[in-house]
Amino acid sequence: MNNIKACIFDLDGVIVDTAIYHYKAWRRLANSLGFDFTEQQNEQLKGVSRVRSLEIVLQAGGITKTDAEKDQLAAQKNAWYMEMVNQMTPAEILPGAREFVQSCRDAGIKTALGSASKNSMTILEKLQIVHLFDAIIDGNKVTKAKPDPEVFLKGAEALSIEPKYCVVFEDAIAGVEAAKAGGMKAIGIGDPKVLYEADLVVSGLNEMTLDKL
Ligand code: BG6
Ligand code: MG
């Protein structure tokens, strides 16, 4: 992997672990509808858009809803999720994340955020790391969810760097697939058995150094 000119980072599961808050909010929603939602079932929601996540949750409970009801349920889940996000502090940045993004910048490598979350900006503000990214592409700026490469291609375009010089950091299978579909390198954050399509897998950004790029 040489000639890397840009690093594009997923947010949830790479920079910060919001999965627990997503899970608590989805479980609260499921409980309000009369069924439970396990942490294991929640695994299917990682990297998946809010609308698609709701469909998976409703399916788990064997429940059908109209589009209008789905809009209302997604809004309710998001309100509960945001109650937790609003309590977040910089202490929740995952180990090594801030340091690695900063080391990229110090080495002249461009940095972007590429996340499905429509709440990315609020989370980055809570963590006080907005300034670490040259471009921020979030769920409000894309129409196609990962594994479609749109979010990362828009990131590369915003940085004016060709996809082949970009590397994406991702904890979700769909995200690794999106990076590869966009003609980029992918570094998985997590289990190599799960993220086997990635060019390299590390357990966290605390394990990353520039010479691994
Ligand atoms: C992804 C998360 O980053 O963003 C998913 O991994 C989440 O769990 C998705 O559903 C959308 O997030 P939000 O904040 O727009 O509901
Ligand atoms: Mg993620």
Query: What's the pLDDT tens digit per position in 153-170?
Result: 999 999 999 999 999 999
- Look at residues 142, 145, 138 and name the one whose alpha carbon lies nearest to residue 48: 145
Q: Write down the pTM of the prediction.
A: 0.95
CA 137 – ligand 2 centroid, Å: 14
> Is residue 116 within 6 Å of ligand 1 at its C-beta?
yes
Q: Residue range 59-86: average pLDDT?
A: 97
Q: Residue range 58-71: average pLDDT?
A: 97
Query: What residues act catalytically?
Result: 10, 12
> Is residue 170 within 6 Å of ligand 1 at its C-beta?
no
Helix-helix angle 19-32:50-60, to 10 degrees: 50
The Cα–Cα gap between 204 and 194 comes to 15
The Cα–Cα gap between 195 and 187 comes to 9
User: What pLDDT sits at residue 44?
Assistant: 87
The band of 47, judged by pLDDT with boundaries at 50, 70 and 90, is: confident
At residue 188, what is the residue type? G
Is the pLDDT confidence value at 2 over 80? no
3-state secondary structure the chain: CCCCCEEEECCECCCECCHHHHHHHHHHHHHHCCCCCCHHHHHHHCCCCHHHHHHHHHHHCCCCCCHHHHHHHHHHHHHHHHHHHCCCCHHHECCCHHHHHHHHHHCCCEEEEECCCCCHHHHHHHHCCHHHCCEEECCCCCCCCCCCCHHHHHHHHHHCCCHHHEEEEECCHHHHHHHHHCCCEEEEECCCCCCCCCCEEECCHHHCCHHHC
The percentage of the chain sitting over the pLDDT mark of 90, rounded to a whole number, equals 94
> Is residue 189 within 6 Å of ligand 1 at its C-beta?
no
Hey, which of 117, 138, 141, 171 would you mutate to test ligand 1's pocket, going by the most ligand atoms within 8 Å of its Cβ?
A: 117
Hey, which of 14, 48, 86, 173 would you mutate to test ligand 1's pocket, going by the most ligand atoms within 8 Å of its Cβ?
A: 48
User: What pLDDT sits at residue 1?
Assistant: 64
User: What pLDDT sits at residue 66?
Assistant: 97
User: What pLDDT sits at residue 94?
Assistant: 98
